[in-house]
Amino acid sequence: MTSTLSALQDWVDSVAKLTQPEDIHWCSGSDSEYKRLINQMQRSGDLLELNSDSYPHCFLHRSDPSDVARVEHLTFVCTENESDAGPNNIWMQPEDAHRKIDGLFDGAMQGRTMYVIPYCMGPVDSPYARLGVEITDSPYVVVSMRIMTRMGDAALKRIEHEGRFVKGLHSTGDLDPNRRFIMHFPEELSIKSIGSGYGGNALLGKKCHALRIASWQARKEGWLAEHMLIVGIENPEGQTHYLACAFPSACGKTNLAMLIPPKSHAGWKIWTLGDDIAWLHLDDQGMLRAINPEAGYFGVVPGTNAKTNKNAFDMITSDTIFTNVATTSDNAPWWEDKKTGSPAIDWQGRAYDASNGPAAHPNSRFTVSAKKNPSYSTLAEAPEGVPISALVFGGRRKELAPLVYEAKSWRHGVLVGAGVASETTAAAVGAVGVVRRDPMAMKPFCGYNFADYWAHWLSFADKSDKLPKIFHVNWFRQDANGNFLWPGFGENLRVLRWIIDRCENAVGARETPVGFLPETRDIDTSDLDISVESMDALLQVNIDQWKREMDSIGEYLQSFGDRLPDAIKQEYRQVVEALQKAE
């Protein structure tokens, strides 16, 4: 096949010349193509079929044990000026970067098929959707992109019509971590990734395009590309509010996006629009509207069970690709906290032995179509997206951050977002459980200088007086024994209700130096086994701890030097002064 768009055809030709594949396949996105690739991968051993009675059409992929998560230390933003990438990114001069990575792509696809994947991020008929083409030599990437994006003929048609698309070049390479690079060229709208076949490193539509490149485009064009779930909350009277929530990787987005209301909340309904990425635009009324650029979920498997996330648990019993889970003796997938069955073979294919660590890799994932989610919202297909009532930041903090608080204004909310910190998780290679700054949950994903990004966020206050309120939540506070103080999961609806009540001016709040907090009585704890002491602890603002936190935030913000917006400095000073007065 060829394309009528010369920019696309020329690029495909030049990549083929460099990488020297045995043949080239243009992906149509059809069912038969998907099935053919699945069969081919079963034959090559890239996919193992799981128990076809209990898990029909489900497959297991085991990635290389050195290739199990995003690699932030090997992820580059390559802009002409280093300062445009900012201290939040690892920078390489574009020409040097191309030379280095093209050297690795030279002949990299010899003996392999090169797949050309046209895809659309967002509903194909949405003005907010954006296009891309990923070239890859990994059939696992092709089938994953088919689930995660609108991939194939319809996307190609729009690409050929519009003429503009993000170019993503990927090869699994030799998987040597020393020859693994994920490079972004925002000024060229292009991505080059080699040496990893895993998740966000390889499915280039996701973090590379829909966040790093899109955040750059969004700044130029006046919108926002964010690491946010989108969820609709319908009350028993039938009114629905939409929230977009930014939590760092493996901090609860997928779970919140499809939560099941607890028994005490009969009549409440949850509608999922997205579980990882939101693209936010102001409409002509000044409302912030969100679309989910993705079409599937690449979700954390461990911890998913009938109690924590029944929607996901049920959804992944058919038509799902599992990566790096364990299996039971009857070849069903198994993971830690599944609460049923037991592991026979671990994620590396070895007989299970507890002394080797967890049976499923902590970052093992399911890949499944969003349409399989029982709480899928049909508005996820709406070209105009949904209006957002509240933006919610959050993180994984044992202490300090209360269960919920509200920013005092949009500007203050931008400071709250900039100050987000969270314990690191298994979603990225490196130490787990270390608190680090993760502004707006975008530390690994912002394709440009955070100082400019905060200025961009601040600029929305000049463009609309209907902006959503901004909140911060923390489901992960622990007591002295390391137990979670808050039950989390479905019970998080109780906190979302307070957020919605605040948006409707239906409930008061307690003003503190760091923001507005609920009165304990205003969080509905009916039918919940939680002590008054725990609730008080969850809703406490410890002035001394917060002073230390503000010192740490101040130091972090200063690392952005002169580019840091004045409004952030002013908001920062106001919180610090309020904390001093609170003594």
Whether 195 contacts 73, CB under 8 Å: no
Active site residues per annotation: 251
Distance CA 482, CA 485 (A): 9
Distance CA 253, CA 169 (A): 28
The binder of ligand GTP chosen from 149, 249, 292, 377 (CB under 6 A): 249
| Least distance to Mn ion, CB of residue 251, Å | 9
Both tokens of 213, joined, read: 């490149």
Please say which residue, 29 or 200, places its beta carbon nearer to ligand SPV.
200
Please say which residue, 133 or 258, places its beta carbon nearer to ligand GTP.
258
Site for ligand GTP in 412-471 (CB under 6 A): 427
Distance CA 169, CA 160 (A): 19
Stretch binding ligand SPV (CB under 6 A), from 90-98, 181-189, 200-208, 490-498: 200-208
DSSP structure string for 229-259:
EEEEEE-TTS-EEEEEEE--TTSSHHHHHT-
Distance CA 436, CA 216 (A): 23
Whether 428 contacts 249, CB under 8 Å: yes
Q: At 314, which helix (H) or strand (E)? A: helix 310-315
Confirm or reject binding of residue 475 to ligand GTP (CB under 6 A): yes
Distance CA 461, CA 474 (A): 26
Give the SS3 label for residue 409. coil
Which of Mn ion, ligand GTP, ligand SPV, none does residue 322 bind to, with CB < 5 to 8 Å depending on kind? Answer: none
Site for ligand SPV in 419-438 (CB under 6 A): 427
Confirm or reject binding of residue 276 to ligand SPV (CB under 6 A): yes
Give the SS3 label for residue 143. helix
The binder of Mn ion chosen from 46, 275, 276, 381 (CB under 5 A): 276
| Least distance to ligand SPV, CB of residue 237, Å | 34
Distance CA 383, CA 479 (A): 45
Confirm or reject binding of residue 70 to ligand SPV (CB under 6 A): yes
* Cα→Cα distances 244→442, 530, 543, Å: 14, 27, 29
Q: How many residues bind ligand GTP (CB under 6 A)?
A: 22
Which of Mn ion, ligand SPV, ligand GTP, none does residue 489 bind to, with CB < 5 to 8 Å depending on kind? Answer: ligand GTP
* Alpha-carbon torsion (273, 274, 279, 280), positive or negative: positive
Confirm or reject binding of residue 254 to ligand GTP (CB under 6 A): yes
| Least distance to ligand SPV, CB of residue 425, Å | 8
Distance CA 495, CA 524 (A): 8
Whether 445 contacts 209, CB under 8 Å: no
Please say which residue, 276 or 406, places its beta carbon nearer to Mn ion.
276
Neighbours of 498 (CB within 10 A): 23
Please say which residue, 207 or 209, places its beta carbon nearer to ligand SPV.
207
Site for Mn ion in 234-273 (CB under 5 A): 249
Stretch binding ligand GTP (CB under 6 A), from 117-125, 136-144, 379-387, 483-491: 483-491
Please say which residue, 92 or 228, places its beta carbon nearer to Mn ion.
228
Site residues (vs ligand SPV, CB under 6 A) = 70, 199-200, 206-207, 249, 276, 298, 427
Site residues (vs ligand GTP, CB under 6 A) = 247, 249-255, 275-276, 299-300, 302-303, 308, 427, 475-476, 484, 488-489, 492
Site residues (vs Mn ion, CB under 5 A) = 249, 276
